[in-house]
Structures are given as C-alpha cells and as structure tokens.
C-alpha cells in the first residue's frame, strides 16, 4: 500500500506520520494504547509520539527502515486498524527523530473543546500537492487573492511559509481557531474559497471540518500538509525553483525543522544574523525554544545565555537531579523569545528571577 518505500537512510530510520478519525470504544482505548506501546517498541523498534482516543489515532514516529513494511502489516492485520490507516506521510528528511516511544490517551489535537466524529464527518476538500499548487497559481494569474491561512503556531511559520499566507500570531491551535473564526466571519460570502495548510494535515482536517459544520461551504486543505508538499517539490523535475512554499518546515521532534527550499527567512534571536536553526536551551528547566546560529551556540554553550543556564548545561546528570529547579517559563513565554531576550541576546534575568 505504501509503495514505493523511501530508500535506506543514512542512520537507518524512516520518519513518518499518519492520522485517522474513527470510533473507538472507551474501554478499548487504554488496551490499544498498552498493546501499541508494548509491541511497537519491542518488535518494531518504533520511537515517536502517538495519541489515541475515542475519535481515532494521530502518530508521528521514526522506525528502522527494515521494519517499515512490518508496521504496515501490523496495522493491516489488526482488526481495529485494518483498512483505516491511510498511506504513510513520509518525511522530507529522514532520520531517528525521537528518543523513545510514548503512546498516550489524549485528544488527537488540543482544540480546547470536545470534538465529535459527527463534526469531523464534515470533511474539507483535500487537494494533492499538484492540485493545491495549480489552484493557487491559477488564482495568482487571475489577479485573485484567495484566503490562504497558515494553521500553525507563530514560531512554526518563522522559518517557512507559503507565499501570500495569512499567519495568525498565536501560540496554540485553540487560539488559532478563534482567530480563524473571526477572520471568516468578516467575509460575507460563505461560499468563497478558504485554503488552509499545516504541518502534516491533521490540524487542517479538524479546522476544516469545524468550519464546514458552521456553514462555510468551500474549505480546501493541503493533503499531507507542508510535509507532503515539501517532499513533492523536492523530488519533481526542476526541483524547488517554482515552489510556493519558501524556507523550512518546522517539526515537533529532535530535528526541529526540515528544508523545503534553501531560503533563510528568519534571524538568530541572539545576534540577529540570518539563521533558521531552532534549538532548545540546554538547561532543561529553561528549555526555551529559539533560533540560534552556530556562533551563538558556541558562545553561549547552546543555551539562552543566562548564567544559570550556562552553569546547569555543564552539570552531570547526577548533579542536575541533585540540584533540581522548577520550570522557568510558562508555555507562552517558552515559545516567545522576542519577549525573553534582551538587546544583548541573553534571556532577561528579571524574568528568570520572577519565574524561579
């Protein structure tokens, strides 16, 4: 079903994602969670992040290349998953992207409100990368400006986005939906096309279904998200020269990004030089997500530059356990380096002190 499979990679891992909406019995969910956690880790050597609930499954994972077909076989021979899992969404850049396997019972996407399969049945129109590009090119040639919405968080589109996209300045999907609803309400014509994209497609599937259930009739999403589009443009004849997406695709794993085109859209949060390399502060209690160039990484020991973080980054694992400290930032500050760094490119001590 997933032929052709990508070639063997440098470190011997494929990185893939998939999701599917279908009904699961409440009693069945924890049993499936335990079975996947046990058998995928033990027999398939899978690492990754998998969410399962009564509305289906959402998976991002890395698997040894010689086990990828075995994963498909496992899914197709399981009475719950057989025929329900679409083709794997292959990553643009493959490598082992997770440390371990974590299978959790939780909503597939954090919408902040209960989500039913009835709402999800109002599916948006899914456009292949070819069709997506064709429709957007056609609109440009006609001088039209269709509503094109980036359904990702603010830090994601810092390093890459589609030309002409509206990028709401939000930190969470819940905030994104509120912004999109407001945006759509300002349009009088509910039949006017709405184009949406996200990383791998699931956020747009959910957002598109919500909008369609509320009466918006012409909602179109990029099937497979930026991941599928990036893979498409990088593999086609002529390469990425005519790509409508520029820059990198942010990923929620160890890679923190994969290249679609070579343009660098962002700047280092510490020195201001051109850079699109995301990192987390090496002090795990800080874990600030920010863009850091190689020179600043060396200068600040892969930290945000605060002396406490530099000191802790050089401690042994045993020392860190012995000298535990509370989490420094709230989630909203952790992904907002513009509110954290001073002009000297170092996290502001007063904020650290207030949060310690």
Catalytic residues: 198
Q: Rounded to an integer, what distance in angstroms lies between the CA atom of residue 64 and that of residue 94?
A: 11
Give the rounded distance of the alpha carbon of 266 from its chain centre: 18
Whether the Cβ atoms of residue 163 and residue 244 lie closer than 8 Å to each other? yes
Catalogue the E-assigned strands of the chain.
13-21, 47-53, 56-64, 89-90, 101-105, 125-127, 147-150, 160-162, 194-197, 219-222, 245-249, 258-259, 278-280, 289-291
Whether the Cβ atoms of residue 60 and residue 202 lie closer than 8 Å to each other? no
Q: Give DSSP secondary structure letters for 29-42.
A: HHHHHHHHHHHHHH
Residues in the chain: 356
Whether the Cβ atoms of residue 325 and residue 295 lie closer than 8 Å to each other? no
Q: Rounded to an integer, what distance in angstroms lies between the CA atom of residue 332 and that of residue 344?
A: 22
Q: Rounded to an integer, what distance in angstroms lies between the CA atom of residue 86 and that of residue 206?
A: 16
Q: Rounded to an integer, what distance in angstroms lies between the CA atom of residue 149 and that of residue 168?
A: 8
By DSSP bridging, strand 289-291 and strand 278-280 are: antiparallel
Q: Residue 225 to residues 54, 196, 261, 286: CA-CA distances in angstroms?
A: 24, 9, 15, 31
Closest CA to 265 of 334, 343, 163, 132: 163
Looking up tokens 């899978």 gives 46
Q: Rounded to an integer, what distance in angstroms lies between the CA atom of residue 193 and that of residue 202?
A: 19
Residue 82, burial from CB neighbour count under 10 angstroms (0-12, 13-18, 19+)? exposed
What's the half-sphere exposure (Cβ side, CA atoms, 13 Å) at 239?
6
């Amino acid at each position: 079903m997933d032929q052709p499979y990508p070639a063997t990679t440098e470190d011997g891992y494929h990185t893939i994602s998939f999701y599917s909406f279908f009904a699961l019995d409440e009693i069945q969910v924890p049993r499936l969670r335990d079975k996947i956690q046990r058998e995928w880790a033990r027999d398939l050597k899978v690492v990754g992040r998998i969410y399962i609930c009564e509305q289906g499954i959402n998976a991002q994972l890395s698997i040894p290349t010689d086990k990828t077909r075995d994963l498909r076989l496992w899914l197709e021979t399981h009475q719950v998953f057989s025929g329900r899992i679409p083709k794997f969404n292959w990553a643009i850049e493959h490598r082992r992207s997770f440390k371990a396997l974590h299978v959790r019972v939780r909503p597939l996407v954090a919408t902040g409100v209960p989500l039913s399969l009835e709402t999800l049945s109002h599916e948006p129109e899914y456009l292949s990368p070819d069709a997506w590009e064709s429709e957007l090119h056609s609109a440009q040639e006609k001088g039209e400006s269709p509503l094109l919405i980036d359904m990702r968080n603010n830090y994601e589109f810092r390093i890459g986005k589609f030309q002409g996209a509206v990028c709401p300045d939000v930190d969470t999907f819940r905030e994104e939906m509120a912004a999109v609803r407001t945006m759509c309400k300002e349009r009088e014509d509910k039949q006017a096309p709405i184009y949406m994209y996200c990383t791998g497609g699931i956020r747009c599937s959910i957002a598109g279904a919500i909008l369609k259930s509320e009466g918006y009739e012409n909602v179109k999403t990029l099937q497979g998200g930026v991941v599928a589009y990036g893979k498409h443009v990088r593999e086609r004849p002529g390469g990425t020269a005519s790509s409508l997406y520029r820059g990198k695709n942010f990923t929620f794993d160890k890679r923190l990004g994969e290249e679609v085109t070579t343009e660098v859209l962002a700047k280092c949060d510490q020195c201001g030089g051109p850079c699109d390399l995301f990192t987390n502060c090496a002090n795990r209690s800080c874990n600030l997500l920010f863009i850091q160039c190689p020179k600043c990484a060396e200068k600040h020991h892969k930290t945000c530059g605060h002396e406490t973080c530099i000191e802790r980054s050089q401690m042994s694992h045993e020392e860190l356990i012995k000298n535990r400290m509370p989490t420094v930032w709230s989630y909203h500050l952790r992904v907002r380096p513009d509110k954290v760094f001073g002009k000297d490119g170092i996290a502001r001590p007063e904020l650290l002190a207030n949060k310690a």
